[in-house]
Structure 1
Amino acid sequence: MELGMIGMGRMGGPMSQRLLRGGHRVIGYARHLDALRQLEEKGVIPASSLEDLIARLKAPRAVWLMIPAGGAVDETIAALRPLLQSDDVIIDGGNSNYKDTQRRAQMLKASRIHYVDAGTSGGVWGLENGYSIMVGGEEEVVTRLRPIFETLAPAPDKGWGRVGPSGAGHFTKMVHNGIEYGMMQAYGEGFALMRHKTEFNLDLHQVAEIWRDGSVVQSWLLDLAASALAENPHLDGIAPYVADSGEGRWTVAEAIDLNVAAPVITLALLQRLQSRDSESFSNKLLSALRNQFGGHEMKKK
């Protein structure tokens, strides 16, 4: 099958390679030509512009976007819309907000252009292991694109599926990432607890390796934790600063809107925010208040 890809960076590049291995024809476009040139050596056909990309694709076309969520997606769609024809498909494989996806699908419907959201998980390991793909969109269109999803997934019948109409794929991926926040936070807290039990002098990498087989907490995240601890047992040189992509925030907001209690995901998000405040005013005020009402000693810098 033939596919146009826009955005050939950290995720787009490996995905295009997996598609090529599966016998698909991939035509790529990226603003940064260096990334595209590297992929050209692996078989991606480079396009010099969006116009060139669309001209090289046979109708009905399928164009996969792998670009950051937000305005960049809207700008790209606005540029593509006049170039595409009825029954062409735009696939958004990024982490877009599902409400934006629903809006875009409705807008493109007027031009009879299909919009499919493919929530994609797998990171840098997806090239070898396959990607988990949660697809939203019209059933007939998703069926047409089935060979692409079967190639990207771990197996043709595993790790992917149409989960509902437009927006459902990105909504499911949002919740997936929210769960990921909670799982990562639990691992972090558990290993920190063991590290502080100095009386036992625990080898955290050894513990992680033991847990990887047969335990109820085994997971791919635990595999990655074991790998990280093997490379750097004390995590030297790593700042305790944790970024977020935004999907945890959207998950918490959705939980509030739907009156669904999600305390673990919410607290995991708040912990990430706290990690960025090296000069925490709130903690300083807590210390000052304890001194004010109880005469407790305040630790000075």
Structure 2
Amino acid sequence: MTSAAKFQFGVAGMGVMGASLALNIADRGFKVAAWDRHPEKIDEIHAKHGHPEMKGTGSLEEFVGMLERPRRILLMVTAGAAVDQMMDRLTPLLSPGDVVIDGGNSWFQDTQRREKAYREKGLHFIGMGVSGGEEGARHGPSLMPGGPAEAYALLRPVLEAIAARAESGLCVTHVGPDGAGHFVKMVHNGIEYADMQLLAETYDVLRRGLGLSADALADTFTKWNEGIAESFLLETTLKVLRKKDAETGKPLVDLVLDKAGQKGTGKWTVQVSLDLGIPVPSIASALDARNLSAMKDERVAASAKLPAPPLTLTAEEKANLISWAHDALYAARVVTYAQGMRLIQAASKEYHWNVSLAEMARIWRGGCIIRAKLLTPLREAFTQQPDLPNLIVSEAFAPVLTKMAPAWRQLVGTATRLGIPVPVFSSSLAYFDSYRSAELPQNLTQAQRDAFGAHTYQRRDKPEAGFVHSDWS
């Protein structure tokens, strides 16, 4: 390629995230080539931003030809078939050693397949999770690239330039081979589902239980966000609670219909957890909560036939519900992160990725949606013990959870008595209690399986006997 090919990086797909990332890269001094199948989008970006380091085209051939080699091309297109279609179109235009990055939320096994297919053609493929939304993409996201190490080395200067910066460093690292980056981003999103639901449950208990207004809740969350519960999602929640509707003057959140949507990554997280045999009940309960919210008409009809208990609190509950909710929120969050980290750990072992959980905590500390203060002790826990079996037994968190468990139980008990659903608080507590229990009732389950299906069982008093069957009649 001649010196006329001045563009150092290409971004294909000028939607909100693609345009934001392209502008971010250009801001850092890299000359960016942009492509979109609707060239008018590029014209709109130029009209609005007029960035001198960025040039666009509607021709894929011209786009590829503008790039210096080895080419570095970021795809920001819809996950699924569109990625394969773009790869097929790009393949004949590329040269050995070129790198294509999928920056969408792709299924990690698709990424494994695509990386293998490109590798066989002498090309590099990177699957990269991008977190932080439009604002993060524009000014500093958390980036989770997975793929060949030599390809990451080619991308590293650009990715480090655009990544968020936290006290722990730049929020990007080479996650691991093939699908590791997209797997980690998927679990990140699963944790996000549960964290958002925990905040919704906290809001609901304090709103219905104590009758707190949106402003009063925002005041409470503002105080919480100054302590150990600090997080981007909590900060976002208090901003949402403060917003007033321009037409009515009412809190805008009170006018939002209670039907939550989803894009699939939470569902994928739960599916993979079943495949790997790693329980993630907090994430699964958050997914169920969204699905239940979609049944609005059925819920309204059921509310007329299934009356709720009276919303009356004891003096103790009135005095302590806010502090119970604070401790329960923090404890349930820790348990949620513990489940997500355990799932990443299991997948890393299964697929030989060698993912560093301490590094994941580090790059999540800035830029991303689930950034939170608790990620600092989380990182320390996995730094001290990389093979830690579960975060909740770490020296950093076990004493804290033990101290907060009584308040957590009070919060769940009070909500249950009042008929206020707290599925993620409840399932997180059940996970905590199950994991800390030396004895569980699955001895009965295993006996039942043997009684009706001769599935065998192990005797605790004769472990050397292996699996045995009994006649239970």
- TM-score scaled by structure 1? 0.89
Q: Distance in 1 between matches of 2:252 and 2:10?
A: 44
Q: Distance in 1 between matches of 2:270 and 2:284?
A: 6
1:26 aligns with 2:32: yes
Q: Distance in 1 between matches of 2:89 and 2:242?
A: 47
Q: Distance in 2 between matches of 1:79 and 1:256?
A: 36
Partner of 1:272: 290
1:42 aligns with 2:60: no
Q: Distance in 2 between matches of 1:170 and 1:283?
A: 41
| C-alpha spacing 1:79/1:203, structure 2 compared with 1 (3 Å) | same
Q: Distance in 1 between matches of 2:64 and 2:106?
A: 23
Partner of 2:263: 245
| C-alpha spacing 1:167/1:282, structure 2 compared with 1 (3 Å) | farther
Partner of 1:9: 15
1:170 aligns with 2:182: yes
Mean Cα deviation higher: 124-133 or 106-115: 124-133
SS in 2 for 1:19: helix
| C-alpha spacing 1:199/1:238, structure 2 compared with 1 (3 Å) | closer
Partner of 1:203: 216
Q: Distance in 2 between matches of 1:82 and 1:172?
A: 31
CA contact under 8 A between 2:131 and 2:137: conserved in structure 1? Answer: no
Q: Which one-letter code corresponds to 2:86 in the other structure?
A: T
What's the offset of the Cα at 1:69?
Answer: 0.7
Partner of 1:143: 153
Q: Distance in 2 between matches of 1:62 and 1:120?
A: 17
Taking the TM superposition and a 5 Å limit, the aligned residue runs for 1:223-262 are 223-232=235-244, 233=251, 235-262=253-280
**1:54-81: CA deviations, max 9, x gaps?**
1111221111001111111111111111
Match among 69, 84, 88 for residue 98 of structure 2: 88
**1:76-120: CA deviations, max 9, x gaps?**
111111111111110011100000000001111121110011111
Q: Which one-letter code corresponds to 2:183 in the other structure?
A: F
Q: Distance in 2 between matches of 1:127 and 1:55?
A: 26
| C-alpha spacing 1:34/1:143, structure 2 compared with 1 (3 Å) | same
| C-alpha spacing 1:35/1:236, structure 2 compared with 1 (3 Å) | farther
Greater gyration radius? 2
SS in 2 for 1:145: helix
1:180 aligns with 2:192: yes
Partner of 1:297: none
| C-alpha spacing 1:192/1:49, structure 2 compared with 1 (3 Å) | same
What's the offset of the Cα at 1:137?
Answer: 1.0
| Residues matched between the structures, number | 287
Mean Cα deviation higher: 140-149 or 257-266: 140-149
Q: Distance in 1 between matches of 2:138 and 2:69?
A: 30
**1:221-275: CA deviations, max 9, x gaps?**
0111111111133513312121111110110001000111110100101111122
Q: Which one-letter code corresponds to 1:206 in the other structure?
A: D
**1:164-199: CA deviations, max 9, x gaps?**
001000000000000000000000010111111345
Unaligned residue ranges in structure 1 (runs of 5+): 289-301
CA contact under 8 A between 2:37 and 2:58: conserved in structure 1? Answer: no
| C-alpha spacing 1:187/1:47, structure 2 compared with 1 (3 Å) | same
What's the offset of the Cα at 1:24?
Answer: 0.6
1:72 aligns with 2:82: yes
Q: Which one-letter code corresponds to 1:24 in the other structure?
A: F
Taking the TM superposition and a 5 Å limit, the aligned residue runs for 1:100-179 are 100-127=110-137, 129-155=139-165, 157-179=169-191
Q: Which one-letter code corresponds to 1:63 in the other structure?
A: I
Q: Which one-letter code corresponds to 1:75 in the other structure?
A: Q
What's the offset of the Cα at 1:281?
Answer: 8.4
Q: Which one-letter code corresponds to 1:118 in the other structure?
A: M
| C-alpha spacing 1:282/1:87, structure 2 compared with 1 (3 Å) | farther
CA contact under 8 A between 2:39 and 2:57: conserved in structure 1? Answer: no
What's the offset of the Cα at 1:200?
Answer: 5.7
Answer 1 or 2: which has greater helix percent: 2
Q: Distance in 1 between matches of 2:93 and 2:190?
A: 36
Unaligned residue ranges in structure 2 (runs of 5+): 1-6, 245-250, 307-473
CA contact under 8 A between 2:70 and 2:99: conserved in structure 1? Answer: yes
CA RMSD of the aligned region, Å?
Answer: 2.2
Q: Distance in 2 between matches of 1:281 and 1:238?
A: 16
SS in 2 for 1:172: helix
Q: Which one-letter code corresponds to 2:240 in the other structure?
A: A
SS in 1 for 2:165: coil
What's the offset of the Cα at 1:127?
Answer: 4.6
SS in 1 for 2:100: strand
Q: Distance in 2 between matches of 1:91 and 1:170?
A: 11
What's the offset of the Cα at 1:155?
Answer: 3.2
What's the offset of the Cα at 1:33?
Answer: 2.8
Mean Cα deviation higher: 136-145 or 201-210: 201-210
Q: Distance in 2 between matches of 1:31 and 1:279?
A: 40
What's the offset of the Cα at 1:283?
Answer: 7.8
CA contact under 8 A between 2:139 and 2:162: conserved in structure 1? Answer: no
